Structure 1
Amino acid sequence: MVTVRGLSVSFGGRTVLEDIDLTVGAGEIVTLIGPNGAGKTTLVKSVLGLVKPSAGSIRLRPGLTVGYMPQRLQVERTLPLTVRRFLTLWRKVGRAELSQVLDEVGAAHVIDDAVQTLSGGELQRVLLARALLRRPDILVLDEPVQAVDVHGQIELFNLIAEIRRTRGCGVLLVSHDLHLVMARTDTVVCVNRHICCSGHPEDVSRHPEYLAMFGRHAEALAVYQHSHDHHHDCGGAVVTLPSAPQPLPDAQAREHPARHHHHG
């Protein structure tokens, strides 16, 4: 449904993304992971047509409908905006369809509540409902579990997997870490300006690089095991290593031919 080839994006002479290849198929969940500032949201915005690439191509299947769940929503606290009104601002929605989609995401009970009074988990479900109202072929979800506790994260990831199953839509999911979503992901793409590696998610483990990034909190998170053969210095520049680790078998991962790994 989505094919990205050789994508590069620069802002003011600074390269944010370089030579990105990405595909998302029907019914597939693809997760972009990487540290803050790695370019994940820029990649998503490029796919959505909100950011113009400096090089490369983005091809969407003709007639493709995209449901987008943004990373943040800011609503003026004094604005009288109920969930019902919020979900019908952009298009006319019948009462039955509105009730059905809110029930699907587990948020039927907040339909007449003010958006500003919702908990983090309730707001994320309402944003997901808004994306589903487009009857999408592909869902693009940017950090869908922020401001949600661990129990709520598990429920949201299970909900996303169920929506993929029942609707048959593809999912492009962005996360700054791995979290429990990895158990529901078909393909993982590790991004830090370029693609470091990509492949199938692995079982929960204690990967040294992941522990270095997330410390003691990493023990509670599911991990995609992968080998990096390069690193980045604190400024993001690639640092070449004298030798590269052996790649995982093809059945487990697809390694990119870079000779560097991530540092700091």
Structure 2
Amino acid sequence: MLMTECLVTLKNATVRFDGPPVIDGINLTLNRGDIVTIIGPNGAGKTTLIKSILSIQKLSGGEIWLKPGARIGYVPQHLILQPTLPLSVRRFLMLTGEPEARCREALAQTGVSHLFDASIHHLSGGEKQRVLIARALARNPDLLVLDEPAQGVDINGQAALYDLIRTLRDQLQCGVIMISHDLHLVMAATDQVICLNQHICCSGRPEDISADPAFIETFGQQVAESLAVYHHHHNHQHTLHGDVVAGDGDACQHEDCHSHGTH
């Protein structure tokens, strides 16, 4: 299996409803092994772009190509469940139609196998996100699509989630595309950043993107300067709660981790 195998290609992809384009002229290639993060202000079209890749949203113009037979695992931004509906993690995962053994394996891959018989209504934010990721993993995806994977997770758990995403990419040899607002943390977890504001304003490696004039115009000089000095030497691992458990924690220059007592 080649890690450079192309999974998704968008050419001049455009989505328009009743007004100006929501996304306009997007060109994007995602290969197996890539972690691509979409950032941008509210209303920039990030979720519309993701829905187009998932074939939920039809393009108004341009083309999208998805590798034939590619399996996609999707982690939505929100999970809304009726609190009066009894639902265990086991039953939630089995709704994928995958065998119980595979559901257990997927839950173990996300580090929360002990939650298999727990009520999904009683999970913490970090636990719920890991169960959602496990649900996406149950199909052994070639492409993992995540919409705000750290939504509702405290600062101590966010770094652990992004560590998990990188680990899953390595284990599954899949491609990953995700939306994130956690600019500082996600810079340590991604290979390529795409700054979207209806069109692609700029794109590149995390260490380069903060110097791009389009990025500075979108997010401001103060954010760009903070990202420029925010270089995370990623040579350690985090627990479910964000604590460092392996590697040389002293080499980590993760300022938010230091300021919040994570390291």
- 1:15 equivalenced with 2:21 (yes/no): yes
Q: Would the aligned equivalents of 1:5 and 1:21 in 2 still touch at CA under 8 Å?
A: yes
Corresponding residue for 1:160? 165
**C-alpha separation between the residues in 2 aligned to 1:10 and 1:108?**
43
Corresponding residue for 2:95? 89
| Structure 1 residues not aligned, in runs of 5+ | 224-264
| Structure 2 residues not aligned, in runs of 5+ | 1-6, 232-263
Give 1:212 shift.
3.9
Give the counterpart of 2:136 among 131, 134, 139.
131
- 1:46 equivalenced with 2:24 (yes/no): no
Q: Would the aligned equivalents of 1:181 and 1:222 in 2 still touch at CA under 8 Å?
A: no
Give the counterpart of 1:114 among 101, 115, 119.
119
Cα 1:204–1:6 change in 2 (3 A) is: closer
What are the equivalent positions in structure 2 for 1:222-241 lying under 5 Å apart? 222=230
Q: Would the aligned equivalents of 1:205 and 1:222 in 2 still touch at CA under 8 Å?
A: no
Q: Would the aligned equivalents of 2:193 and 2:209 in 1 still touch at CA under 8 Å?
A: no
The 4+ residue runs of structure 1 with deviation greater than 6 A are: 203-207
Give 1:97 shift.
2.1
SS at match of 1:72: coil
Give 1:101 shift.
1.4
- TM-score norm. by structure 1 comes to 0.77
Superposition CA RMSD, Å? 2.5
Q: Would the aligned equivalents of 1:68 and 1:139 in 2 still touch at CA under 8 Å?
A: yes
Corresponding residue for 1:144? 149
Corresponding residue for 1:244? none
Give 1:41 shift.
0.5
**C-alpha separation between the residues in 1 aligned to 2:20 and 2:70?**
31
Give the counterpart of 2:188 among 180, 183, 192.
183
The alignment covers a number of residue pairs equal to 221
* Higher share of residues assigned helix: 2
SS at match of 1:184: coil
**C-alpha separation between the residues in 2 aligned to 1:199 and 1:59?**
22
Give the counterpart of 1:6 among 4, 12, 17.
12
Give 1:210 shift.
7.4
**C-alpha separation between the residues in 2 aligned to 1:9 and 1:183?**
31
Cα 1:76–1:52 change in 2 (3 A) is: same
Give 1:214 shift.
8.1
Q: More deviation in 106-115 or 51-60?
A: 106-115
Q: Would the aligned equivalents of 2:96 and 2:138 in 1 still touch at CA under 8 Å?
A: no
- TM-score norm. by structure 2 comes to 0.77
AA of the residue aligned to 2:108: D
Give the counterpart of 2:71 among 65, 71, 74.
65
**C-alpha separation between the residues in 2 aligned to 1:170 and 1:92?**
21
